[in-house]
Structure 1
Amino acid sequence: MTDFTRTRAAFHLPEGVTYLDGNSLGPMPVAATARVADMMRDEWAEQLIRGWNSAGWYAQPRRVGDRIARLIGAGEGQVVMGDTLSIKVFQAVSAARALRPDRRVILSDSGNFPSDLYVAEGLAGAVDAELRVVRPEEVADAITDDLAVLMLTEVDYRTGRRHDMAALTARAHQAGALAVWDLAHSAGAVDVDLLGVDADFAVGCTYKYINGGPGAPAFIWTHPRHSDAAAPILQGWMGHAAPFAFDLDYRPAAGIERMRVGTPPVIAMTALDAALDVWDGVELADLRARSIELSEAFITGVQENCPDLVLNSPRHPAQRGSQVSFLHPQGYAVMQALIAEGVIGDFRAPDVLRFGFAPLYNDVSDIERAVDTLARILRDGSWDDPRFHQRAKVT
């Protein structure tokens, strides 16, 4: 059994704050401060450029990738870290498209994170492909024989709705297409099994439920059957078979190493490595069970005490990830008032109040306080203060 009391103690949670926004940015692991300081003092300061060899910086993206692999149902040597999620989306989709050169269609849905759609739109224009976007419930029927790549985010960033990864991947394969999955709201939140569902490519970020810190590097996974054939358009020197030979022509490295691009962010990856220590001893089945317990308690509490809010997430827990959203016409102001009271969620346009549940540090007392505070704000109308209507750049 997972000791969630231990994992909660591993995070710095500010006094008086109930944090339900780990689906956007996880809190800081207590150990990260010392780990990064040690790296800067003992490695960067003392070893200087030698650290790429003596401190293992060059191998860090694969070593940390192996730690991520356990959380997403992947195998050793199949995940590599580096760059941003948008870059990894571009790499995965372009590689999948190249493996189906006789097909032009990239299929996604309107619940996908806009950045993924921007990347796919730009790629489609560059390689003479077509991006088709349908409603989430229409995806299965839109998988046709002209499809090259199915590109989906497993858990919808606004509603928390969860796609059936196994069923949609199988349907894509039956049509002769490949499946690329974005796990931004899945990794560290739900029970992902990439090898079990036979996906082709997957990408994800590490600053949400994995708690790697703002701007923490993204990851990419390639199924072993594609690892030596995948050829992403974006080719960088760290993905070269012999980067320090400085050849003028690109030769891809073997396996997942070819998915490296630029110089890895060593300091950020050190903080991420500290965050991954918290995951040692965490059973994903326990994580999922606790997630459902927390989200169910929150939905029940809000529906009983906040009649002005409308549930915007699937009611059945099997159909959603580890986040829940409600609708209110003045959702932004309501959320700002809630944050002012020390309960932190976030807002998504046009009217979505969004709450994430991270079992590593959230417990039932967080749910109770959040429900009570939200109900009081709605009841007394304190959310309608003019200062809560002033939009900040980041919502």
Structure 2
Amino acid sequence: MSTLDERAGELDRADPLAALRAEFIPSDDVIAYLDGNSLGRPLHASRKRLAEFVTDVWGARLIRGWDERWMAAPTELGDRLARVVLGAGRGQTLVGDSTSVLLYKLLRAGVAARPDRDVLVMDSGNFPTDRFLAQSVAQERGLELRVIEPAAGAGVSVADVEAVLDERVAVLLLSHVDYRSAEIAALAQITTLTHAAGALVLWDLSHSVGVMPIGLDAVGVDLAVGCTYKYLNGGPGSPAFLYVAAALQDQLTQPVTGWMGTAEPFAMGPSYVPAEGMRRFASGTPPIVGMLALRDMLALIERAGLDRIRAKSVALTEFAIEASDTLLAPLGVELASPREAAVRGGHIMIEHDAFRGLTPILWARGVIPDFREPRGLRLGLSPLSTSFAEVLTGITVIAQLMAARGYA
């Protein structure tokens, strides 16, 4: 135990990003926040920005705010997000709506852009919303839904994708990082394979954006979506983003044709005429308030540097695995995430039959992980707000509770 304490101390002292933890608002009753990949902590800067917005912007400018700055916010913030965390050029990213709505838009638009193809591909281990939407779109469009069944405990492999691609596939939908195991999919290889088959690939970046470099333009990704309340700390219900490669934008017809996506929103014309570029993928009034905290986190990520964030993320998950091996494995806990850092995202999953019952007790003790069916405890380690000592505290409490219940 002393060795782990010493290791945590050494790692925290050597952490070049340690000082940035002071940028986040602490929780008085939480001793270990291990769910930063579900909802990031708020920033002090966001508390100030939100308060000032109510009085100095919304209150002062009122409806004039739309003409002065708000109409441009979805694309302006989209360009900034693309530059800071997506590795993408201007004019390809839009902020607004939820991840679910944006997934629907791009799935429908993608299959419509391949009218001679009748297959939509997903995997059985993807997040439920992704699977449900793929099922809905396949049913609406009369498509065959082809399902990849990864090996037990593994993510979707290149070989899995090769096995399902053919001349009938219109769109392949995958997550970059598995929401349970944290396994990273081979984004570049799978994108290349999909293109060789003449299909489009739609990536869900929700568990990778903000915690690792992605490089959408360099890889040649077609379509992508992601949320902003996990590692981007936009707050509960903050708007999602969608990315459409520049070469595809005029080939896609988005299905949710709201007034904000028209060429002249205030013309109030009799029929829908899409705007040029990414604006055409907008639908309704953009959630301006929901974009505020995201701006602060993007600024902090830019200060920290995405490569350094990824290095800290790897170090945190490595240490979490080390602590779990030492304290939890003797109690029967199993690691359900890759041990190889190169294919592991920003969280780890550990498994034990006791975790369902232990989760509410952990929450009451101020240790906040995530339970995932059927027996998984997900430890989400947001690099800029999480210390190594905090990780050790959380895992130590888990071990103590398990030992007290006879799992030793």
Pairwise TM-score range, normalised by the shorter structure = over 0.9
Q: CA deviation at 1:298?
A: 0.6
Cα gap change, 1:265 to 1:326, in 2 (>3 Å): same
Equivalent of 2:382 in 349, 358, 374:
358
Cα gap change, 1:3 to 1:66, in 2 (>3 Å): farther
SS in 1 for 2:122: strand
Distance in 1 between residues matched to 2:276 and 2:15, nearest whole Å: 37
Q: CA deviation at 1:276?
A: 2.2
User: What residue ranges of structure 1 are gaps of 5+ in the alignment?
Assistant: 384-395
Q: Which moves more between the two structures, 324-333 or 206-215?
A: 324-333
- Do structure 1's residue 337 and structure 2's residue 361 form an aligned pair? yes
Structure-2 residue corresponding to 1:390 = none
Q: Counterpart of 1:362 in structure 2: which amino acid?
A: T
Structure-2 residue corresponding to 1:26 = 40
Structure-2 residue corresponding to 1:170 = 192
Q: Counterpart of 1:185 in structure 2: which amino acid?
A: H
Q: CA deviation at 1:226?
A: 0.6
Equivalent of 2:62 in 29, 48, 70:
48
Q: CA deviation at 1:240?
A: 0.7
- Do structure 1's residue 156 and structure 2's residue 170 form an aligned pair? no
Q: Counterpart of 1:87 in structure 2: which amino acid?
A: V
SS in 2 for 1:296: helix
- Do structure 1's residue 124 and structure 2's residue 146 form an aligned pair? no
User: What residue ranges of structure 2 are gaps of 5+ in the alignment?
Assistant: 1-13, 150-155
Cα gap change, 1:317 to 1:140, in 2 (>3 Å): farther
Q: CA deviation at 1:262?
A: 0.7
- Do structure 1's residue 82 and structure 2's residue 96 form an aligned pair? yes
Distance in 2 between residues matched to 1:117 and 1:234, nearest whole Å: 20
SS in 1 for 2:311: helix
Cα gap change, 1:130 to 1:7, in 2 (>3 Å): farther
Q: Counterpart of 1:96 in structure 2: which amino acid?
A: G
SS in 2 for 1:375: helix
Q: State TM-score, norm by structure 2.
A: 0.90
Cα gap change, 1:285 to 1:271, in 2 (>3 Å): closer
State, as a whole percentage, how many aligned pairs show the same letter: 39
Q: Counterpart of 1:157 in structure 2: which amino acid?
A: Y
Distance in 2 between residues matched to 1:94 and 1:288, nearest whole Å: 33
Cα gap change, 1:382 to 1:236, in 2 (>3 Å): farther
Q: State TM-score, norm by structure 1.
A: 0.93
Q: CA deviation at 1:217?
A: 0.2
Report if the CA contact (8 A) 1:78-1:256 is conserved.
Answer: yes
SS in 1 for 2:121: strand
Report if the CA contact (8 A) 2:79-2:90 is conserved.
Answer: yes
Q: Counterpart of 2:116 in structure 1: which amino acid?
A: D
Report if the CA contact (8 A) 1:3-1:282 is conserved.
Answer: no
Q: CA deviation at 1:376?
A: 1.1
Structure-2 residue corresponding to 1:389 = none
Alignment of 1:288-307 (within 5 A): 288-307=310-329
SS in 1 for 2:139: helix
Structure-1 residue corresponding to 2:308 = 286
Q: Counterpart of 2:268 in structure 1: which amino acid?
A: F
SS in 2 for 1:149: strand
Q: Counterpart of 1:218 in structure 2: which amino acid?
A: A
Q: Deviations over 1:58-99 (max 9, x none)?
A: 111112112211201111222111010001101111121122
Q: CA deviation at 1:229?
A: 2.0
Structure-1 residue corresponding to 2:10 = none
Structure-1 residue corresponding to 2:23 = 10
Q: Counterpart of 1:63 in structure 2: which amino acid?
A: E
Distance in 2 between residues matched to 1:327 and 1:139, nearest whole Å: 27
Equivalent of 2:252 in 230, 234, 238:
230
Q: CA deviation at 1:382?
A: 8.6
Alignment of 1:240-279 (within 5 A): 240-279=262-301
Structure-2 residue corresponding to 1:111 = 125
Q: CA deviation at 1:277?
A: 2.3
Report if the CA contact (8 A) 2:15-2:312 is conserved.
Answer: no
SS in 2 for 1:59: helix
Structure-1 residue corresponding to 2:8 = none
RMSD (Å) for aligned C-alpha atoms: 1.7
SS in 1 for 2:145: strand
Distance in 1 between residues matched to 2:347 and 2:38, nearest whole Å: 10
Report if the CA contact (8 A) 1:158-1:354 is conserved.
Answer: yes
Structure-1 residue corresponding to 2:242 = 220
Distance in 1 between residues matched to 2:167 and 2:326, nearest whole Å: 47
Q: Counterpart of 1:23 in structure 2: which amino acid?
A: N
Q: Deviations over 1:164-220 (max 9, x none)?
A: 000111110111101100001010122211111111000000000000000000000
Equivalent of 1:377 in 401, 404, 408:
401
Q: CA deviation at 1:293?
A: 0.7
SS in 2 for 1:80: strand
Distance in 1 between residues matched to 2:143 and 2:217, nearest whole Å: 28
Structure-2 residue corresponding to 1:388 = none
Structure-1 residue corresponding to 2:7 = none
Distance in 1 between residues matched to 2:92 and 2:278, nearest whole Å: 6
Q: CA deviation at 1:299?
A: 0.8
- Do structure 1's residue 315 and structure 2's residue 339 form an aligned pair? yes
Q: CA deviation at 1:282?
A: 2.2
Distance in 2 between residues matched to 1:365 and 1:2, nearest whole Å: 12
Distance in 2 between residues matched to 1:84 and 1:106, nearest whole Å: 22
- Do structure 1's residue 59 and structure 2's residue 72 form an aligned pair? yes
Distance in 1 between residues matched to 2:109 and 2:390, nearest whole Å: 43
Q: Which moves more between the two structures, 329-338 or 306-315?
A: 329-338
Q: CA deviation at 1:3?
A: 4.8
